[in-house]
Amino acid sequence: MSEFRLLAGEATIPTAQGRGHGDKISKGASPRRLESKAAALHSGRSHNQASDNTAPTTIAEKILRAFNTWAFKREQPSDPQLLLRVITDAVSRNAPLPFLFYWGKGPRCHIDEHDIKCLDYIEAMAHRISAVYPPGTALRLICTNTHAELNGYSPIAICTYYSEIEAEAHRRGFECFRLSELIAVTMATAEDDQLADHLPDDMREKLFSSAMKWYHGSGSPEEGAIKYFNMNMVEKRAVELAFPNAIFATFNSSKFRILFPKRLPIFYMYSLQRGVGVKPWFLPAEAQPCDATSCQCLASTKETASPP
């Protein structure tokens, strides 16, 4: 729990601090001398204040140009001004620029080349940033184990896949979190749109279409889509409570904006390379979900299990 509090504390945007006037003027000084001294002091303060205010912004704009390009983004960010403020805050603290990524689970039980290519792509963006900003980035994967459970994947399949993803991510310097842990630590509740009655018709159609492909839980795909929407209303609040001043990067388009933290800037990006937005965990397209009889995770677990 303290870990998330620390992250939240580090992410607080500092308020501007006023400067007092502590210079004393001697009684016997000439008016011309006083005027010159006052002008010099005023000039010095103005220069320093301008440097304090503009330097981080100038660097932030340079950082933004480094990654906010069509080599990575699939459309414009949700709130460019908020995005710039988050970057400026990181610069003012000489801190790594924090990015958050949801990482889902599809039919596969093991990491494969699609996952590796996606991680490589994220790293390429991070390298662009570190080339112009030495503190670099803080890349955090949020494994959406809650979504995997809802979609009916077995606990061992979820555990195996995410363990492999986390191992590869850690090797590259990423931090990893489970979405269920963030909810538990923040004790988040939905602020709005938490009822199925609030689900917009166009969003209902999009989520239902997705559920028809990937939902294997109890009940109908439409019921699964509604559950998924309501879960996201809590989860997006948990994410912004845990990481209140980060950039939320997603492989989805802005059509799904309602599912993402509403107080964070959203960076809509490709997944594997420019022009590709398919999430890596859903590839290859012909992959079939593992079950109790065909799951390779179960087979490998039995082979490596310690004797009683």
Kindly indicate the confidence band of residue 208, based on its pLDDT and cuts at 50, 70 and 90. confident
CA 72, 73, 78, 83 torsion: positive or negative? Answer: positive
107 close to 289: Cβ distance less than 8 angstroms: yes
Contacts of 125 (CB under 8 A, 6+ apart): 67, 72, 269
pTM of the model: 0.78
179: left (phi over 0), alpha (psi -120 to 50) or beta: alpha
The rounded distance, in Å, linking the Cα atoms of 132 and 64 is 10
- Note the helical H segments in 215-260: 221-242
Q: Domains of the chain (ranges plus CATH)?
A: 55-300 (3.40.50)
Q: Is the pLDDT of residue 238 over 60?
A: yes
Q: Is the pLDDT of residue 184 over 80?
A: yes
User: Which pLDDT tens digit goes with each residue over 133-146?
Assistant: 999 999 999 999 99
For residue 132, give the H/E element and its range.
Answer: helix 113-132
Amino acid 12: pLDDT: 38
Amino acid 15: pLDDT: 31
